Amino acid sequence: MQKVLVTGGTGYIGSHTIVDLINNGFEVISIDNFSNSDEKTLDGIQKITGRQVRNYQVDLCDIDRTRAVFVENPNIVGIIHFAALKSVEESVFQPLRYFHNNNESLINILTCANEFGVPNFIFSSSCSVYGNAKELPVTEATPFQEAESPYARTKQMGEKIIEDFTKVTKEVRAICLRYFNPAGAHQSALIGESPRTKASNLVPVITETAIGKRTSMTVFGSDYDTRDGSCVRDYIHVMDLAAAHTACLRYLMAEKNTAPNEIFNVGIGDGVTVLEAINAFEKVTGQKLNYTIGPRRAGDVVSIYANRDKAERLLGWIPMRDIEEIMRSAWAWQCKVGS
């Protein structure tokens, strides 16, 4: 079987992508230092796939220990690089920690890809690179606006590092995937979103409020220029997002790429407001949600959602799950985890 290295493999998107890769016949190894994830996620992956995934508990900022993983695992066909600090809020207060961790780890993993001849590289980027986009839906050609946070800036910088690297390193082909708002969980409820840090993203806040882990939640602003006054986002089910990574790997392995580095939006191509997301949760679960309308949250963009035509045209990737399936699977996971 062809071997793929997933960094951040016990994280939310990493773990779901490993399941999809294994289900598509790949052998997978992971590098994760568990700084924002739980080792028990590996048990969930094994229960779903029947395969024990080897994880190397290595900090990617330590290049010697990172290199050692490649020495032990020759012939890796691809790297999917998820490992990064990803809290928008935290990055505002700890910019140097975010620039050091996210950029240093990317440079190290690219260095190893080059030294060990790994031909295919997929980078976990984010729709936050667009900032407050002037046109909607955003396409891959939509120019960056000012990053709204140091986190977003590390993703803008990451894409530029990869662009300059692949211009001179012809042996490595890369794809940067710009995720919109990942949410939901694997249908088995054996894996899901389980950060070590307190969740701040909308969907886990909704499910934690519904199960009583939080007494209530706040809708950050209802006076925006949108159809119901609350912000618009493109919520994409994590298993659809996982499938996009496998599609990218196959695309690169078949050498179908039209440039050394290509960008793809990965969203469902539709915008859902915060209040519509809450209504979807209440509809599919029958749970009444205890929320209040509060002030706007600093750093929020009013509205962003994807034009995903390029991914469908070139990768043959089409998302299959809507906001109601996101809420159904997120609630099943929350009920499994408990309060």
Q: For residues 63 and 284, which CB has a smaller minimum distance to ligand WQD in the complex?
A: 284
Q: How far apart are CA 171 and CA 334, in angstroms?
A: 43
The residue ranges of DSSP E strands in the chain, in sequence order, are 3-7, 27-31, 54-56, 76-81, 120-126, 173-179, 181-183, 217-220, 232-233, 235-237, 261-266, 272-273, 291-294
Q: How far is the CB of 148 from ligand WQD (least distance, A)?
A: 7
Q: How far is the CB of 86 from ligand WQD (least distance, A)?
A: 5
Joined together, the tokens standing for residue 300 give 């929020």
- Residues found near ligand WQD in the complex (CB under 6 A): 86, 88, 126, 128, 179, 181, 200-202, 205, 217-220, 231, 233, 274, 297, 300
Q: For residues 59 and 208, which CB has a smaller minimum distance to ligand WQD in the complex?
A: 208
Q: For residues 153 and 233, which CB has a smaller minimum distance to ligand WQD in the complex?
A: 233
Burial class for 85, CB neighbours closer than 10 Å (0-12, 13-18, 19+): buried
Q: For residues 24 and 132, which CB has a smaller minimum distance to ligand WQD in the complex?
A: 132
Q: How far is the CB of 37 from ligand WQD (least distance, A)?
A: 14
Render the burial of 10-39: b for 16+ CB within 10 Å, e for the rest. bbbbbbbbbbbbbeeebbbbbbbbeebbbe
Active site residue 130: no
Joined together, the tokens standing for residue 38 give 């739980």
Q: What are the CA-CA distances from residue 244 to residues 17, 53, 256 (Å)?
A: 9, 20, 15
Q: How far is the CB of 169 from ligand WQD (least distance, A)?
A: 26
Q: Of all residues in this chain, which one has the CB nearest to ligand WQD in the complex?
A: 231
Question: Which of 12, 56, 130, 151 is labelled catalytic?
Answer: 151
Catalytic residue positions, numbered: 151
